[in-house]
Structure 1
Amino acid sequence: MNPTIRSVVVPVTDLAAAKAVYTALFGAPHTDQPYYVGFNANGFEVSLAPQGDVAGGPVAYVDVDDLDAAHAALLAAGATERSAPREVAPGSRVCVLQDPDGNPVGLRGK
């Protein structure tokens, strides 16, 4: 396993306002949908999610080869689950756990 952080999802309450700020920083988004706006920051994905939990803050997602194995390993190590593994696109699943201090840890894989 070679986990790599490749993306961060920023929950927002006002997608249009947030999109203006992030467009000023990163340029035009590569994906601009009512449910998701994505920017490429030199190969790193910065995403705006209007349906996200703003109180939970941004979530960095670690790409893992085996989502279920990584999920189980983190739970065994003392993490707790914020959101169970779910499919977000064909062949791509995500989940969010939290460390003992409540910091989010996102996992993305198959």
Structure 2
Amino acid sequence: MTDGAKTLLHPVADLAKAKPVYAALLGIQPQADSDYYVGFDVAGQHIGLVPGGGPQGMTAPVAYWHVPDIEAKLAEVTAAGATVREAAHDVGGGRLVATVTDPDGNVLGLLQDR
């Protein structure tokens, strides 16, 4: 079971140029703003900007499904036929993320807050 897809990460070439566009689109300033990540919390969704193509050369937005136990969910989805693209790792503050691909190559994100 998951808590749903609550996080959507957008890879961008230039955070400084992308930030005002997303701020205008969403109607708010970012709640997290650093040189490696810019994050907006909007209506229960977390919209993040990641520089340089994002994790593992990500080129399209990736939805991250919030899970209580990322390692257990990785085992479950790989047993069902997914392939690990990016192993679980801490991205700061105890937040763990991982990505897998489905049999058609679609990228699915997993996120666990500690």
Q: Structure 2-normalised TM-score?
A: 0.87
Task: Report how far residue 89 of structure 1 moved.
Answer: 2.3
Between Structure 1 and Structure 2, which shows a larger proportion of strand residues?
Answer: 1
Selected match of 1:67 from 51, 60, 70:
70
Q: Is the 8 A contact 1:10 1:48 kept in 2?
A: yes
CA distance in 1 between partners of 2:14 and 2:94 (Å)? 29
**Identical positions, percent:** 44
- Aligned: 1:76 with 2:79: yes
2: CA distance, partners of 1:15 / 1:92: 21
Shift of 1:54: 4.2
Q: Which runs of 4 or more aligned residues in structure 1 lie more than 4 Å from their structure 2 counterparts after TM superposition?
A: none
SS in 2 for 1:101: coil
- What letter is aligned with 1:11? P
Gaps of 5+ in 1: none
Match of 1:34 in 2: 35
Counterpart secondary structure, 2:30? coil
Q: Is the 8 A contact 1:13 1:54 kept in 2?
A: no
Measure how far apart 1:90 and its partner are: 3.6
Runs of at least 5 residues in structure 2 that lack an aligned partner in the other structure: none
Q: How many Å separate the matches in 1 of 2:58 and 2:18?
A: 12
After superposition, what is the alpha-carbon deviation per residue over 1:24-61, rounded to whole angstroms, capped at 9, x for unaligned? 11121111111000111112100000041243x11111
Question: Per the alignment, in what secondary structure is the counterpart of residue 89 of structure 1?
Answer: coil
Instruction: Indicate the RMSD between aligned Cα atoms, in angstroms.
Output: 1.4
Give how far 1:2 is off: 3.6
Change (3 A) 1:54 1:85: closer
Counterpart for residue 4 of structure 2: 4
**Match in the other structure for 2:61:** 58
- Supply the distance in 2 between the matched residues of 1:58 and 1:78 (Cα, whole angstroms): 22
Q: Which of 76, 101, 104 lines up with 1:98 in the alignment?
A: 101
